[in-house]
Amino acid sequence: MNWAGLYTVLSGVNRHSTAIGRIWLSVIFIFRIMVLVVAAESVWGDEKSAFTCNTQQPGCNSVCYDHFFPISHIRLWALQLILVTTPALLVAMHVAYQQHQEKKLLMLTGHGDAKHMEEVKKHKMRISGSLWWTYVCSVIFRLIFEAVFMYIFYMLYPGYQMVRLVKCEAYPCPNIVDCFISRPTEKTIFTVFMLVTSSICIVLNMAELIYLVVRACARRGEHNSNPSSGKSSFYGHKLSSEYKQNEINQLLTEQDGSLKDMLRRNPGLQEKGDRCSAC
């Protein structure tokens, strides 16, 4: 499991995202993950071996490095990118659940052939109803994680600039000792770059949130401003997701009921791995 694996997992989610969501995903993969892998990792590659202190005292080097770099930038960015990309999996799980329900309904209504199943898998879910709430929550979590990591960065490495020299007096260093950091300018350039892309991602997430809220309000406004189409809306209501869900629930409870009856009459039938999935 590496960045490529994550890319595979998240490409699937891409299909059900908004346009802004897709742009956000491209920015994450190309300008953050890719830059991290092909460039930043080699800049920080020798951060410990080339960290030199002006002393012969054994252990002073290690202690000073540990004091000034509790967690390396690279590892912080890797954690940030993983945590920021995973809320999209909530959406993926919800979509998978909805597709599962649709497939069940199709099977119960006699359309359980391979063609219909493929059609369910292929078609793009509309972001409405409960999926809208899941999507909005995932965007909010992304925003929170980005903000938290930016703050942690600022706390650990105030100012984002990497200095050339740090003065260290932790035991066992004999007195205040000069320690020199490797490639400080290059590290500052990449830190600023990652910071800028992180801010761009925050802006994209906020734009996506606003877009989703405005769209939902607009849809609600349309719905409310068409009360005269009450008759047509009854038939429209038949196709609405709530009506569908009620139908699904009814069919499932009927099936559940008949299955439970069967199991009560023949207790030997119930095997370990063979439970009704609707139970």
Partner 1 sequence: MDWGALQTILGGVNKHSTSIGKIWLTVLFIFRIMILVVAAEKVWGDEQDDFICNTLQPGCKNVCYDHFFPISHIRLWALQLIFVSTPALLVAMHVAYRRHEKKRQFRKGDQKCEYRDIEEIRRQRFHIDGSLWWTYTSSIFFRLVFEAVFMYAFYFMYDGFRMPRLMKCNAWPCPNTVDCFVSRPTEKTVFTIFMIAVSSICILLNVAELCYLLAKFFLRRSKKAGNAKHHPNHENKEETKQNEMNELISDSCQNTVIGFTS
Q: By C-beta, is 34 or 136 nearer to partner 1?
A: 34
Alpha helical stretches, state H, 125-276: 130-156, 184-224, 230-238, 241-265
Burial of 134 (0-12, 13-18, 19+ CB in 10 A): buried
Q: By C-beta, is 19 or 114 nearer to partner 1?
A: 19
Q: Min. distance of Cβ 88 from partner 1 in angstroms? A: 15
Q: Min. distance of Cβ 135 from partner 1 in angstroms? A: 19
Please name the amino acid found at residue 223. Answer: H
Distance CA 91, CA 133 (A): 10
Distance CA 263, CA 62 (A): 67
Q: By C-beta, is 164 or 275 nearer to partner 1?
A: 164
- What is the phi/psi pair of residue 165, to 5°? -125, 135
Q: Quote the distance between the C-alpha of residue 279 and its chain's center.
A: 30
Q: By C-beta, is 67 or 104 nearer to partner 1?
A: 67
Residue holding tokens 């920015």? Answer: 27
Q: Min. distance of Cβ 152 from partner 1 in angstroms? A: 23
Q: Min. distance of Cβ 171 from partner 1 in angstroms? A: 19
Binding residues (CB under 8 A) for partner 1: these are 3-4, 6-7, 19, 22-23, 26, 29-31, 33-35, 37-39, 42-43, 46, 50, 52-55, 164-165, 178-186, 189-190, 193
Q: Min. distance of Cβ 267 from partner 1 in angstroms? A: 50
